[in-house]
Amino acid sequence: MTALVDARHVTKHFRIGRGQTVHAVDDVSLAIAEREIVGLVGESGSGKSTFGKTLVGLHEKTSGEVYFEGERLPQRYRPADFQRYSRRMQMIFQDPYSSLNPRMTVGEIIGEGVRLQGGSNSAAIRSEVDDWLERVGLERVHAARYPHELSGGQRQRVGIARALILKPKFVVCDEPISALDVSVQAQIVRLLGEIKSSMGLTMLFIAHDLSMVRYLSDRMAVMYLGSMVEIGPSEAVYSQPLHPYTQMLVASNPEPDPESERQRATVPIAGEIPSPINVGQGCRFAGRCPHVMDMCRSVTPELRGAAGVEPDRRVACHLYEPATSD
């Protein structure tokens, strides 16, 4: 399958002075096919959001390349690049409140992108805004309201409409549900699923909640301390996680079904993600891994296929022999 978005060896470091460097994202490659949803999971500090922002040009890449429909995207975006690519790539942000201009009405916020692109007159923009209000489950009267007059779920619906009114092909959803109540989270995920089917969207869906990612995504990718440690079909990764870190994430994830949750012991994740400053050689998970071996502390495991495991799965762990084709 041809990739719509193809990130190759993307690295994003932040220099913070005194010779220190934050390794936010290190050598991450990910190809996303047209109409595919890839869910990206990991604890806070794993680099998921930085990777998503780097894909759409909100962070300059330290190294690596991103291709969109075969075209290599700029290393560093200029204002004209945002104008050029915003019709094709958009981002839905984690905190709907801080990402919406409090001085603009909902109608102005949703229609702003179309206005900036200069493609429609006022009446046409109003009609498109009304259409999108309806598609995201809001009413026309909401167009005259301000963000502070809406609930968290309604604000996130506005954020979704604002991103999708430009009919992008690719959307990065950066933890779009984590600031919302549990009951609203499911509604937003369902809405994204419906829109994905009707628009044929391609998405990178970044989230903490593995159950939501499993429901919405075709594939699930797991990041730890700036590196990708596992990727494969969502159902397979969730039901048979290979990497010890993924196993811990799954074991600590509450089941949405109360009956299944009662029958299962949820195990909190032990320890904390270490500092991403000046990360050295070896497996980054070695300090927390129950299976750590001597070689794990000196040899960095590669993300690759594993012997005896389905060929569409990849894992970065010395516990697995490489697949014969790798």
Beta pairing partners, 30: 7
CB of 180 to ligand SF4, least distance (A): 32
- Specify whether the CB–CB gap between 295 and 318 falls below 8 A: yes
- Crossing angle, helix 122-135 and helix 106-117, to 10 degrees? 120
CA geometry: angle 165, 167, 170, nearest 5 deg = 120
Helix (H, G, I), strand (E, B) or coil at 285: coil
- Specify whether the CB–CB gap between 74 and 66 falls below 8 A: no
CB of 311 to ligand SF4, least distance (A): 20
Sheet holding 219-224, edge to edge: 89-92, 170-174, 202-206, 37-41, 219-224, 227-233, 314-315
- Of 167 and 291, which has the nearer Cβ to ligand SF4? 291
Beta pairing partners, 8: 65
CB of 280 to ligand SF4, least distance (A): 14
- Of 189 and 248, which has the nearer Cβ to ligand SF4? 248
CB of 266 to ligand SF4, least distance (A): 21
Pick out residues in 274-313 that bind ligand SF4 (CB under 6 A). Answer: 283, 285-286, 289, 291-293, 296, 301
CB of 303 to ligand SF4, least distance (A): 11
CB of 289 to ligand SF4, least distance (A): 3
- Of 222 and 289, which has the nearer Cβ to ligand SF4? 289
- Of 189 and 317, which has the nearer Cβ to ligand SF4? 317
Q: Which two tokens stand for residue 253?
A: 């994830």
Helix (H, G, I), strand (E, B) or coil at 22: strand
- Specify whether the CB–CB gap between 210 and 231 falls below 8 A: no
Asked if 223 is part of the footprint of ligand SF4 (rule: CB under 6 A), the reply reads no
User: How far is residue 196's CA from residue 33's CA, in Å, rounded to a whole number?
Assistant: 14
* All residues at 6 or more sequence positions from 116 whose CB lies less than 8 Å from its CB, including other chains: 83
CB of 275 to ligand SF4, least distance (A): 17
- Of 116 and 295, which has the nearer Cβ to ligand SF4? 295
# residues contacting ligand SF4 (CB under 6 A) = 14
- Of 153 and 241, which has the nearer Cβ to ligand SF4? 241
Nearest by Cα to 303 from 285, 289, 277: 285
- Of 180 and 249, which has the nearer Cβ to ligand SF4? 249
Pick out residues in 237-276 that bind ligand SF4 (CB under 6 A). Answer: 243-244
- Specify whether the CB–CB gap between 137 and 189 falls below 8 A: no
Contact pick of 31, 186, 309, 319 for ligand SF4 (by CB under 6 A): 319
Binding segment for ligand SF4 among 77-85, 116-124, 144-152, 317-325 (CB under 6 A)?
317-325
CB of 128 to ligand SF4, least distance (A): 49
Enumerate binding residues for ligand SF4 (CB under 6 A).
243-244, 283, 285-286, 289, 291-293, 296, 301, 317-319
